[in-house]
Amino acid sequence: MASTENVIEIRDLVKVFPGVRAVDDVSFDIKRNTVHCLVGENGAGKSTLIKILTGAYARTSGSTLLNGREYVPSDPRDARQQGVSTLYQELNVVDTLTVEDNLTLGLEDTTFGFIRKTDKINDMIRVMNSLEPSIHPKQKVSTLSVAQKQIVEIAKAAASESDVIIMDEPTAAITEGEIKRLFGIIQKLRDQNVTVIYISHRLDEIFAIGDYVTVLRDGKHIATKPLSEVDGRQELIRMMIGRTVFEGYTSKKRTVPEVVLQVRNLSNEKLQDISFDIHKGEIVGFYGLVGAGKTELARAIYGAESFKGEVLLNGQPYKSAPDKAIAAGLALVPEERRTQGLFTILTVRSNIPVMNMKDISRTGWINSARERDTALEYIDKLNIATDSPEKEAAKLSGGNQQKVVLSKCLFADADLLILDEPTRGVDVGAKSEIYNIIRQLSDEGKSIMICSSELPEIMNLCDTIHLLFDGSLKASMANGADVDSEEILHIVTGGE
């Protein structure tokens, strides 16, 4: 069985979500005992593909072979038993248990309900020792660093005879030195007949550790080739973004140089010394990878996170708290719609006025007629698909939920709207509607700050583009024909 050259073969794989083909007819092979990297922009389909391989998602169609045999895992546990383990970004270790207990968690051999100490445990400890001798089996996991916890998980996967270990952004939360050590471990695993599927946004890592690379874009397979044949990061970036033409964006003359938001030397735990201005009617984009600090920046300006530095709205300072920010003329569409933006169990009607109750009430008394009219007005204006304003927000589709959150902020009548990932989890149709609303707002003289991890979105909409990497503002540019998306990707992936 192990004679087949390819450990995994993917054929015509398709995954359709309502309105999106997240994985669109993808076929490629993963060679045995290699480190196979998977790259692509956010939304390219990497995580969906991985979730199909680990059994977290069911495919729409297509086939996958593991060691030449049909492989359709029913859930992550089944995948693990068949030989495909995953190292997730959020680690699956239990802090309160010892290393040894964590290794055997879920794999215990029992006799009449009592745990038996078997060779398996000793096996795992041996594997772990060979990977990282500094970890003691009796140590509490809570005393380990993130990198050490990763190693515990890797040891668990390696010792349970995995053919394939998938690593999803394993370096996102660990230090330079630890990354080097992780790479050493990955090489050891490869020597022990384990194939590693490695996902990272950091292209330098891909070149440092990978044997093969597969590029995905918009759910489609673009290329799979040995990294030795890839002509530097520029070629990889070109494949990732393709020849996407950013239509849509038309530069406008800024006739009003009036500054709405002034940010000077803003710093906190995640952010370093950020300064910029936003003008009246301007759409300003912040682009960066996951963890670059976009959300933290949005939340700091909105007063939801503490910071040092100076922030002025219309020349005035305001206290750092959401209610003060709203009063000063700000509104935020948060990153996580369901947990931070929407009141899912309440009706569409009662969701919309929350940021500006004054406008539907007098001396504290709600004017029900005005509340209903407001809801109907926004349902009409933003084309929210609901049969009644009394519908629970939870029952709407993602795109329509996002429009409700947007309505909420529009009703607050802010001078500056901060939109954090405004189209995440939104289908294509609703996406373009939201883009039109944003452009219209800008025409009406509103200023807009967009934080996004989708480059096309930024290049489509924004007059000014700021690039974030690791909490710092690395570059700023006016949008236009001369903006080079390769250069942008180079900067936000950590290139100098």
Q: Which residues bind other proteins (CB under 8 A)?
A: 302, 304, 322-323, 325-327, 332, 334, 339-347, 350, 354-355, 357, 361, 364-366, 368, 372, 376, 387-390, 392, 408, 412
Mention every residue, 6+ apart, whose C-beta is less than 8 A from residue 52: 13, 15, 23, 58, 59, 64
> Toward other proteins, which CB reaches closer, 50 or 297?
297
Q: Give the tokens for residue 156.
A: 């668990």
Tell me the closest approach of the beta carbon of residue 457 to other proteins, in angstroms: 22
- Please, which residue, 165 or 301, has the CB nearer to other proteins? 301
* Choice between 114 and 365, CB closer to other proteins: 365
Least distance CB 368 / other proteins (angstroms)? 5
H or E stretch at 401: helix 398-411
Could you tell me the smallest distance in angstroms from the CB atom of residue 371 to other proteins? 8
Q: How far is the CB of 380 from other proteins (least distance, A)?
A: 10
Burial class (CB in 10 A: 0-12, 13-18, 19+), 307: buried
Report the alpha-carbon distance of residue 129 to residue 126 in Å, rounded: 5
d(CA 79, CA 297) in angstroms, rounded, equals: 39
Contacts of residue 413, Cβ cutoff 8 Å, sequence gap at least 6: 356, 359
- Measured CA to CA in angstroms, residue 407 lies from 128, 182, 392, 393 at distances of 53, 46, 15, 13
How are beta strands 6-17 and 20-31 bridged, if at all?
A: antiparallel
CA–CA separation, 299 and 279 (whole Å): 19
Residues 6+ apart with CB under 8 A from 42: 290, 453, 454
Asked if 160 and 127 touch (Cβ cutoff 8 Å), the reply is no
Provide the minimum distance between the beta carbon of 344 and other proteins in the complex, in angstroms, as a whole number: 7
Nearer to other proteins, 165 or 313 (CB): 313
CB of 389 to other proteins, least distance (A): 7
**CB closer to other proteins out of 332 and 451:** 332
Question: Of 263 and 393, which CB lies nearer to other proteins in the complex structure?
Answer: 393
| Residue with smaller CB distance to other proteins, 296 or 463 | 296
Of 447, 448, 494, 455, the closest CA to residue 472 belongs to 494
CB of 450 to other proteins, least distance (A): 17
Name the residue nearer to other proteins (CB basis): 277 or 305: 305
- What is d(CA 45, CA 50) in angstroms, rounded to the nearest whole number? 9
Q: Cβ of residue 327: shortest distance to other proteins, in angstroms?
A: 8
